[in-house]
Amino acid sequence: STFIQSPTDVYGPVALHEPTPSSARDFGAVVFGAPFAIMRPESAADVALLLAALSSAPTRPRATVAAHGAGHSLQGQAQARGGIVLETRSLPRAVAVVVADGDGEGGENTARAYADVGAGALWVEVLEECLKAGLAPLSWTDYLYLTVGGTLSNAGISGQAFKHGPQISNVLQLQVVTGNGEVVTCSPTESPDLFFAVLGGLGQFGIITRARILLQHAPPKVRWVRAFYDSFETFTKDQEFLISIPEQVDYVEGFMVLNEHSIASSSIAFPAPISFNPDFGSHGKRKVYYCIEFAVHDFQEDDGSSVDHVVELVSGEMSYVRPHVYSAEVSYFDFLNRVRMEEESLRRQGLWDVPHPWLNMFVPRHGIARLKDLLVDTVLAGHFDGAILVYPLLSDKWDRNTSAVVPSTPDGVMYIFSVLRSADPSRCGPGCVEEILEQHRRVADEACRVGGGIGAKQYLARQPSQAHWRDHFGSSWDRFVARKARFDPARVLGPGQGIFPSTDSASSMWR
């Protein structure tokens, strides 16, 4: 029978297990939905058996299925209340690095290197394996303890995205099990409709089981630079200068400096001492500062003089508050893994496993000053624990065929604004978290208002209703719906996103 009686029922050779606590929660710790069962597939074929059985089941209500990678979603997106959580970490995680010969012309430059990885692999595992061959993926997230399948279902952005595009722009091929239970190998030329649907597809069209990720030569070291600003305008102008010289610069980010704590906590991984001690003002007259962070890959084994030269030339063109530029030389691995040190520090303080009301938005350049002011007047008006990242991206590095949503950008430049807030339970209990989420809702509604001046789109958010999802997708909504009808017509996948509430079991799937 395809109607599940108990969590230990078996679909062919596929066993279901009793739910674990982690299957009902995530990093956000604001939405909790216990599944009926969990599944630990060992192959794409296992996933196919389950999905083929569920999608063809005549019985209603049907069980839904959510892929769960590292569980670092923020609002229950990897949960399946009353359904089945499929733990992708149990899929094979071997990383195979392949250097394919080019067509002879130009030697090394035409060689194409890639890694074939299981979708449940963490990016840090991919990095470790690729570095053994002196190679690495091009585009990253700030934090590496996320799965390949999880970030490719969103976009995957960090300071390299201005140069190489998001992670979803650096994938050569995927193996996907569709909602119908079909195992398909897809790429931009082979089943391209499924390939592009799944990238940024929020887990709605299939379970990614493997991915082929583009690689490049990894630098042994990185020169990591920080420069401080007292003006938002100068800060963003210099960020835009940096992204205009991708031949020299490999990474560009930035963050708001709200208080001494912003500098201290962001300096946990940054090895150079910082002596920027500005006046943050007092009651009513608050002053906010900004920090640009950029990095240059250092391929030189010896004295690093050519990188010194690049950094000197580039920073000479920048208008930071003099003399506040700081730089440090770190290994490429430590640079990419920098957030791990912050995690360890927060864990020691008991501040990692706390609620994380986050707000992430892509904002076209013309709306950034207004959005910054809106944040300062609302989210940042009171006490704030966490970080606010602000950095530019180039929209022509995003493939519009994917399901990822970014704003329309008349001049091709958009910014990510990431309000990465932690709610320390000793000062912000459940009611306070609820208020923060409400406030984020209002800010997002204002910033993303159709026909409004800011023109933002949210990233990583679970929209509160299907009407909001429709607005979020805008002109690509019809395509998203058509993709769902084609690849997961029974609406088995991704209930935690709340995009396609199943009409027959809506009450158990909704919060």
Ligand X SMILES: Cc1cc2nc3c(=O)[nH]c(=O)nc-3n(C[C@H](O)[C@H](O)[C@H](O)COP(=O)(O)OP(=O)(O)OC[C@H]3O[C@@H](n4cnc5c(N)ncnc54)[C@H](O)[C@@H]3O)c2cc1C
Binding-site ranges for ligand X (CB under 6 A): 26-27, 66-73, 77-78, 88, 119, 141-143, 146-147, 149-151, 153-158, 202-203, 207-208, 460, 494, 496-497
Indicate the residue among 312 and 353 with the shorter CB distance to ligand X.
Answer: 353
* Among 72, 356, 468, 472, the one annotated catalytic: 72
Q: How far is the CB of 250 from ligand X (least distance, A)?
A: 16
Give me 152's structure tokens.
């490719």
Strand segments (E) across 89-241? 95-100, 112-118, 135-137, 171-178, 183-186, 206-217, 221-229
Q: How far is the CB of 50 from ligand X (least distance, A)?
A: 13
- Main-chain phi, psi angles of 6, to 5 degrees: -145, 160
Indicate the residue among 209 and 409 with the shorter CB distance to ligand X.
Answer: 209
* Pairing mode of beta strands 413-421, 358-364: antiparallel
Helix %, strand %, coil % of the chain (to 5): 30, 25, 45
Indicate the residue among 174 and 310 with the shorter CB distance to ligand X.
Answer: 174
Indicate the residue among 36 and 143 with the shorter CB distance to ligand X.
Answer: 143
What is d(CA 156, CA 167) in angstroms, rounded to the nearest whole number?
5
Strand segments (E) across 152-280? 171-178, 183-186, 206-217, 221-229, 251-257
* Among 46, 87, 142, 342, the one annotated catalytic: 142
Strand segments (E) across 258-385? 281-282, 285-286, 289-298, 325-331, 358-364
Q: Are 283 and 413 in contact (CB under 8 A)?
A: no
Indicate the residue among 283 and 348 with the shorter CB distance to ligand X.
Answer: 348
Q: How far is the CB of 71 from ligand X (least distance, A)?
A: 5
What is d(CA 227, CA 221) in angstroms, rounded to the nearest whole number?
20
What is d(CA 252, CA 235) in angstroms, rounded to the nearest whole number?
12
What is d(CA 59, CA 292) in angstroms, rounded to the nearest whole number?
56
Q: Are 32 and 25 in contact (CB under 8 A)?
A: yes
Q: How far is the CB of 362 from ligand X (least distance, A)?
A: 11
Q: How far is the CB of 257 from ligand X (least distance, A)?
A: 19
Indicate the residue among 320 and 362 with the shorter CB distance to ligand X.
Answer: 362
Q: How far is the CB of 148 from ligand X (least distance, A)?
A: 7
* Pairing mode of beta strands 84-87, 65-68: parallel
- Angle at Cα 50 formed by Cα 496 and Cα 200, nearest 5°? 40
Indicate the residue among 146 and 171 with the shorter CB distance to ligand X.
Answer: 146
Q: How far is the CB of 375 from ligand X (least distance, A)?
A: 19
Q: How far is the CB of 465 from ligand X (least distance, A)?
A: 18
In terms of Cα–Cα distance, which of 379, 387, 128 is closest to 257? 387
Is 42 marked active-site?
Answer: no
Indicate the residue among 91 and 330 with the shorter CB distance to ligand X.
Answer: 91
Three-class DSSP category at 439: helix
* Pairing mode of beta strands 84-87, 171-178: unpaired
Is 434 marked active-site?
Answer: no
Q: Are 110 and 77 in contact (CB under 8 A)?
A: no
What is d(CA 349, CA 313) in angstroms, rounded to the nearest whole number?
40
What is d(CA 379, CA 373) in angstroms, rounded to the nearest whole number?
10
Is 142 marked active-site?
Answer: yes
The set of catalytic residues is: 72, 142, 253
